[in-house]
Amino acid sequence: MSRSMVVAAVGLALSLGSASAEDNMVVDMRKLTCSELTRLGFEDFAGITMWLSGYYNASIRNSVIDLDKFALAAKTVKDFCQTSPRSTVMSAAERALKIKMPPSR
């Protein structure tokens, strides 16, 4: 994914905040499966992967985002999910990116 596509994804995800109540999607990230992730449209996929990045980076107190690395990580998780549809997205991110997500509260 090119830098311009990542910037577009960020813009689209930010614009989702103005959606009407009937358009809102509520997701329990601990339960979201890879199968569900791979069926999402571009805007929702971008929002989910941005949330994952923020959740993980906040846990390690990292406030810097490298858009090229973010795009590669999102693609890596999506590729992993296509081969493991029953995995949860959070466990897929841990395995595909070799990271440890923070424990749930």
Single out the residue of 2, 86, 9, 82 nearest to residue 42, CA to CA: 9
- C-alpha 5/C-alpha 85 separation (Å) is 25
- Rounded Cα distance, 72 and 27, in Å: 23
pLDDT in tens, 23-52: 677 899 999 999 999 999 999 999 999 999
Contacts of residue 105, defined as CB under 8 A and 6 or more positions apart, other chains included, come to none
Note the pLDDT tens digit of each residue in 77-98: 999 999 999 999 999 999 999 9
Instruction: Output the CA torsion 59→29→72→65 (10° steps).
Output: -40
Domains contained in the chain, CATH given: 3-14+28-97 (1.10.890)
Which pTM was predicted? 0.75
Q: Which of 41, 42, 73, 40 is nearest to 55 (CA)?
A: 73
